[in-house]
Amino acid sequence: MPKEFELVTHSHLQHVTAFLVRLQERVTHIHRELELGLVLDGAITLRTQQQTSVISKGDIYLVNRMEPHEFASEGNGALLIAIQFSTKLTQGFQAPGSHYRYRGEPNLRQALEENREAYRLLCDTCVELAYSFLRQQPNDEFHCFSLSASLMDQLHRALPWNLLDSEDYSVIKQRANRIMAITDYIDQNFQRKLLLGEIARREGLSLTYLSHFFKEALGMSFQEYLNQKRFEYACRLLFTTDRRILDISLSSGFSDVRYFNQAFLEQYGCTPKEYRKGGKLPASQFRQLEQNSQYIFSAQEALRMLEPMHREIHRKSTLYP
């Protein structure tokens, strides 16, 4: 399969990634990085194993490392800044083997509703970090490092968190590695006939154990996850091509077009043909999309959109007294 998207990388930075994305849907996934997202326009629904939260314009969400989560949005999707931090970012500042997880509401505006000044500073820091990361001017790497450390400090001071012992962290890490291996395999093979038994044999697990593990880890069955991947890919083809419904059905892994039409109607409340007519975004906005409903803006596009916010932060002197 082609790459999911091309992320901008900072030539002198490691362990931090920032990008601007138009997000419509992202099925349940998991990664090793801590993720912050500042919604600039629209709204998204964030689902984790613990709760479901609506993240609206001006809200910041937080997803812990190795925490399964999914996103969904309506209409033209949500425009947001996404920032991901590797555990290696703070290795030189924390005791070896120390790992922490934040507790409580993933919507940080709600979590910090009694401390609006701290929340405003958090928003401004997210904008400035993304802007500096994407701009990549001389010495911006030092500014990015400073802003990253500031974000970590702000989160640690404002939010409740638990320090995990090595045994608990090892269990979480092993579980996350297995989930990522399984979902990566599905992502690469969903267009063909794929059975849970094949994955069980590949992972050396019993069919019963894997079925329960999948449901417990991702909150859905293997077949539900597989169908989500197939529906996403089918929607991309409906949006961006004039291919026949039968061809799209087969290319997406549905061998029976009648089942595809029926399942699509149950999933979206309309037929594939009706869905194509009511496309939410122009095809040009999907040129980078293969597996997920998200568009990652280039550095030049993102900087143009973030420039007014960057100038306002400097005018207010929030971060630059």
- Domain ranges in the chain are 16-164+291-316, 166-283
Of the pLDDT bands very low, low, confident and very high (cuts 50, 70, 90), residue 289 is very low
- For domain 166-283, the question of CATH label 3.40.50.300 is answered with no
Give the integer Cα–Cα distance in Å for 198 and 13: 40
**Are 289 and 274 a contacting pair, CB within 8 Å?**
no
The pTM for the full model equals: 0.77
* Long-range contacts of 240-246, Cβ-Cβ distance < 8 Å, separation of 24 or more: 240/283, 240/286, 240/287, 240/289, 245/272, 245/273
With a cut of 90, say whether residue 303 has pLDDT above it. yes
The tens digit of pLDDT for each residue in 151-163 reads 999 999 999 998 8
pLDDT value for 287: 37
Residue 27, helix vs strand vs coil: strand
Average pLDDT over residues 20-43: 91
Q: Crossing angle, helix 222-240 and helix 166-189, to 10 degrees?
A: 50
DSSP state of 9: -
Superfamily per CATH, domain 16-164+291-316: Jelly Rolls (2.60.120.10)
Give the β-pairing of 52-56 and 69-72: unpaired
| Radius of gyration over every alpha carbon of the chain, rounded to an integer in angstroms | 21
> pLDDT tens-digit profile of 168-200?
888 888 888 899 899 999 999 999 999 999 999
Contact 110, 47 (CB under 8 A): no
Residue 57 identity: K
Q: What is the tens place of the pLDDT at every residue in 79-95?
A: 999 999 988 877 666 66
**Average pLDDT for residues 255-284, to the nearest whole number?**
80
Q: How confident is the model at residue 4 (pLDDT cuts 50, 70, 90)?
A: very low
Domains 16-164+291-316 and 166-283 share a fold: no
